[in-house]
Structure 1
Amino acid sequence: MMRDIFQPKSQHVINIACLHTAASNIAIFDDAARQLELNHLQLSHLVMPHLLAEAEASGGLTAGLHERLVALLRDLQPHFDVILITCSTLGPVSEAFTSSRQPCAVWRTDGMLAKAVHQSAKKTVVLCAAESTLGATRALFCTDGQTPEIRLIPEAWQRFKAGDGAGYFHCVRTAVEHAWQQGAERVVLAQSSMAPVAQQFPPERQPLSGPHLALLQCHQQANR
C-alpha cells in the first residue's frame, strides 16, 4: 500500500518517506506532524505489512529480508530527504545507511527514543507490544552503561492483530500505569503503534514515544 509516495522534491519542504508495516501508523505520524505544527514536513507513506509477517514467521529479521529491504530503501533514497523505518522489528536495517554521503538519511524511529534514554541515567522501563521486536529493542537500548528494563506487554499484540484497537491501547495503558507504580522514572513506548496512549497521561507522566521525536529530528537536521 502506497500513499503520496514519490512526491516531487522541493527546496521549500522536507520530503520524508515513512516505511510502515501497519496502516494505522499513517494517522499517528500525520497527527504528530500537525501537533508539532511542522507544516514544512511532507510525509509520504509506504505500508508493507508482509515484511513484518515474514519477520514474525522467521523468528526475526533474517539476512535475506535485510538484504531486500536495503535494496528497496536504496531505490527510494533519490526521491526523499529522509526515510523513517517506523517498525521496530525492521529498524536494524538503518545501520546499513550510516554514511553521511548517502543521498538521504535512513533512520529508525525507535533510534530517537534510545538516544533520549541514553542521555540520562533515569530508571527506565521500555515497553514492547510485539515479541518480534524484543531482540532489536534490547540491542538498541541496552548498551554499555545503560540497562533499561525491557518488558513485553501480555496479550497486546494479539489484540492489535485482531483489529481490537481499544483493547490494544488498554493493554498498553495498563502496562504504563504499572511501570510508574513500580518506581519507573521514565517509561518508553518502543513501537510507533503505541504512541496514542501517551496522550492519555498528564505531561509529567507521559511516556516517551517515537513519532514526535522522529519528526523533530527531521526538522532539526534540516535546520543545521
Structure 2
Amino acid sequence: MRISFLHTLEGNRKIFDDAAKDLDLPGNALRHEVRADLRLAVQQTGTVSMEVARQIEHCLMELSADADAIVVTCATLSAVAAGITGLPIPIVRVDAALAAAATRIGGHLVVLCALDSSVAPTRQLFEQYANENVASLKVVNVAGIWDLFSNGDLDACLTEVARAADKAYDTGATVVAVAHPWMAAAAPMVRAGHVVLDGPHSALRAVANQQVAG
C-alpha cells in the first residue's frame, strides 16, 4: 500500500509517520508533500480562487503517480479535494475519516477544535456522517490552545487538549475526537481509560481497510 500525503504543516509529516508505525504500515511506502502556500493563499483571501483550486488539483495529480491513495491532511484543502474528479486513485480526507470513525461508534460525541472558525465547518461535517447511533454532537473550541500552538509551546497546548478531553468524558461523552491532526499527540496524556479519536489514525485505517471516507 503506497500512500501519498498532502500537508500544509511541516509538523504533520512526523505525526502521520508515527501513526503509520502504530498501524504497522511500512514507512518506505509513504510520500509526503508539504504545501503551506496553498493554505496561506486561501487564508489571505478567505476563499478558494480558481487559480488555487487548479494548483491543488495539479498537486493531487502529481501525488497520484506511484500511489494507491492520497491522504489530504488539511481541512482547508479537503473541501476542494472532495470536488475534484478524474483522479486515478482514491482521496482520503482526514477530517472526513475522523467523522466517519466517530459516528460509527455513536453515543454522545464531543469534538475538540483549536479555533472558533473551525467549529461550524467541523459540526457540519460530523452532521453529514451522523446516524441513528449518534445521541448528541458537541463541537468545542478549546480556548487558548491555538495561541499556545502558534507560539511553539506545544507541551502546554497538548496538556490543555488532554484536560479538555478528560473533562468531556467526565461530563458524559461517549467518544471524544480531536479535529486537528497535530492534536493527536495529546492522546497519551489523557487519563487511562479515556480514548481519544484522531484524524491520522482514522485516515490510515480507512486506507488500510480500503474504506475511503469523504
TM-score range, shorter chain: 0.7 to 0.9
Kindly report the root-mean-square deviation, in angstroms, between the aligned alpha carbons of the 2 structures: 2.4
Q: 1:97 to 1:204 in 2, by over 3 A?
A: farther
Alignment pair present for 1:178 and 2:167: yes
39 and 129 in structure 1: CA distance in 2 versus 1, 3 angstrom threshold: same
Secondary structure of the residue aligned to 2:111 is: strand
Residues in 1 aligned to 2:112 and 2:69: alpha-carbon distance in whole angstroms: 26
TM-score normalised by the chain length of structure 1: 0.81
Does the 8 Å CA contact 2:166/2:190 hold for their aligned counterparts? no
**Aligned positions of 1:1-224 closer than 5 A:** 14-39=1-26, 42-59=29-46, 61-64=47-50, 65-97=52-84, 102-143=87-128, 148-201=137-190, 204-221=193-210
Q: 2:148 touches 2:157 (CA, 8 Å); kept in 1?
A: yes
Gaps of 5+ in 2: none
Distance 1:50 1:156, change over 3 A: farther
Offset, 1:63: 4.1
**Take 1:19 and 1:191, find their aligned partners in 2: how far apart are those partners?**
14
Question: Structure 1 residues 22 and 119, CA, compared in 2 at 3 Å: closer, same or farther?
Answer: same
Unaligned runs of 5+ in 1: 1-13
Q: Which amino acid aligns with 1:212?
A: H
Q: 1:161 to 1:84 in 2, by over 3 A?
A: same
Matching residue's letter, 1:209: D
Aligned residues: 206
How far apart in 2 are the matches of 1:140 and 1:29? 22
Tell whether the 8 Å contact from 1:88 to 1:110 is kept in structure 2 after alignment.
Answer: yes
